[in-house]
Structure 1
Amino acid sequence: MKPQRIFITGGASGLGFALAQICAKGGWQVCIGDRDIERGEAVIGSLQKWQPSALFVPCDVTRMNNLESVAKQLQEKWGGVDVVVNNAGVAQVGKIADTTLSDWQWIIDINLLGVVRGCKVFTPLFKQQGHGYFVNVASMAGLLDVPNMSAYNATKAAVVSLSETLQNELAKDNINVTAVCPSFFRTNLNQGMRSTIDGMDAKLDKLMSSSKLNAVDIAQLIMKAVERKKFLVLPHRQGRVAWYLKRWLPRRWYQKMLYSRIK
């Protein structure tokens, strides 16, 4: 794939950093944004070994002015940006009665509005330069409906819906969209996770450890999707099967299947 210019939120670790590594090795101009300044400063050197022009910028996706500053910097340094990956996200687990409204507001502000801010800030730049590409990282949680994850599921479902809408809305402006919906895989999602369920850290760690795919595998699938302008990326086979069953089975059959798997 021809080298381009890419900006990745949450790019200092996990899937974001895996994407940054692939792009840097491929000769892309890479900018990672992350609110973890210590981590960002620690990893940028490894990217610069492959791509000396690689950048790290402190960026909190809950702050519109942070993203506006990044867009301005990239326009000044690179003359624009080709791909924006809205990847930053957090997790919250808990029953609806036990999840506080402040936790709802926290996860919506990052998982949903963080993506909204990224799309809102960079769309004018994409239109100005005549092309652009959004990669919005959602989750299989946005397509399925596992109990005790209502806040997380809802934000990821909203990211899928937002991505679908923008694919239609921005097509005339030569702006493409990909929505990525991985299942559990080894990442740092449990760091900073909020949970009202005992032992959830251990359960989540077990689920992530059992995945046959890692962050690099998923990053490679994302790059292929961008090259082919594919809208929906469902990396995990088990997740794809569950989604197909949900779409085609009567609701009560799907629910029985779901509960038999999560007991």
Structure 2
Amino acid sequence: MTYADGKIAALTGAGSGIGRALALQLNREGCELFLSDISAASLNETLALLPRQDVPADGQVLDVADKTSVYAWAEKIAEVKGHVDIVINNAGVALISNVENNRYEDFEWLMGVNFWGVVYGTQAFLPLLRQSQQGHLVNISSVFGLFSAPTQSAYNAAKFAVRGYTEALRQEMDGSNVHVCCVHPGGIKTNIARAARSEDSDVNADERDTEFQKLAHTSPEKAAAQIIAAIEKHKKRLLIGMDARLFSLVCRLFPVRYPQILGLLTRNASTKLVT
């Protein structure tokens, strides 16, 4: 029997990437799922791919930047289940833009999903996690929540904010029944770079994706397996990928000079990519 067997999980951003891989593995392990994604087509595809159709799974089209909708989703689950055991705030988007050219509407869009979506998902579901014998809250930050890069000011701001928010919450939950984990993935082979908003009209989505995949060495399936293992082991912080561990070390050793060092390590490609 796996740790997730018989448990109930709520997961955002389940239509692709890490979210879909998490859904498939949790379902395989016997975990009842409440999945959400902003794309109905992607969400339905994930539901159709679930390997165990005997394990309950529900899908909800959801914009995590909409507080009312997130709370309504949590209330719906509370009415039918009374609690959840695992909450993973995974939904995320990307924006590639220099600070001088940042449009407020793009910045607000990114913060709405990447930061406020985490806040809404956390606070809406904490009461349900409190009702679990052992609750697990997992918030997905990024390796870009550990270091900053040009063209990533908005993404950095959101992911650093997720890190700070989650680490503060982790201390507040110390000694309670709710385990809190902040996850920092390195380069994961997802479509986030292809789907990013970008001010650079000279680079199209296919070119962005090609460059991103050169540095993305970890599959969504491997990332999902590590996240699920971190839940079982009650890890407080998870770095996914050798790149994340290396970047974290470099930033701690060289807090001022890390941009030059990381630029050499990645041949400056990191300035155009997101993780």
TM-score range for the pair, normalised by the shorter chain length: over 0.9
Q: Which residue of 2 aligns with 1:143?
A: 146
Name the CA shift for 1:47/1:167 in 2 (closer, same or farther; >3 Å).
Answer: same
Query: For the Cα contact (< 8 Å) 1:6–1:84, is it kept in 2?
Result: yes
Query: For the Cα contact (< 8 Å) 2:99–2:153, is it kept in 1?
Result: yes
The equivalent position to 2:261 in structure 1, one of 234, 237, 257, is 257
Residues 1-263 of structure 1 mapped to structure 2, 5 A cutoff: 1-2=2-3, 3=5, 4-47=7-50, 49-129=52-132, 131-197=134-200, 198-199=202-203, 201=205, 202-249=207-254, 251-252=256-257, 254-260=258-264, 261-263=266-268
C-alpha displacement of 1:204: 4.0
Q: Distance in 1 between matches of 2:54 and 2:114?
A: 29
Query: CA-atom RMSD, angstroms?
Result: 1.8
Name the CA shift for 1:184/1:200 in 2 (closer, same or farther; >3 Å).
Answer: farther
Query: For the Cα contact (< 8 Å) 2:24–2:51, is it kept in 1?
Result: no
Q: Distance in 1 between matches of 2:123 and 2:255?
A: 38
Q: Distance in 2 between matches of 1:216 and 1:101?
A: 35
C-alpha displacement of 1:184: 2.0
**4+ runs deviating over 3 angstroms:** 48-52, 128-131
Query: For the Cα contact (< 8 Å) 1:25–1:51, is it kept in 2?
Result: no
Q: Distance in 1 between matches of 2:204 and 2:186?
A: 16
> Which has the larger share of helix?
1
Q: Distance in 2 between matches of 1:65 and 1:59?
A: 10
Name the CA shift for 1:162/1:29 in 2 (closer, same or farther; >3 Å).
Answer: same
C-alpha displacement of 1:250: 5.5
C-alpha displacement of 1:242: 1.8
Q: Distance in 1 between matches of 2:153 and 2:47?
A: 35
Q: Which runs of 5+ in 1 are unaligned?
A: none
Query: For the Cα contact (< 8 Å) 1:10–1:88, is it kept in 2?
Result: yes
Tell me whether 13-22 or 186-195 shows the greater mean CA deviation: 186-195
Tell me whether 50-59 or 164-173 shows the greater mean CA deviation: 50-59
- Kindly provide the CA deviation profile for residues 199-235 of structure 1, in whole angstroms up to 9, marking residues without a partner as x: 1631343222543310000000001100101111111
The residue type equivalent to 2:151 in the other structure is: N
Q: Percent identity?
A: 29
Alignment length (residue pairs) = 262
SS at match of 1:125: helix
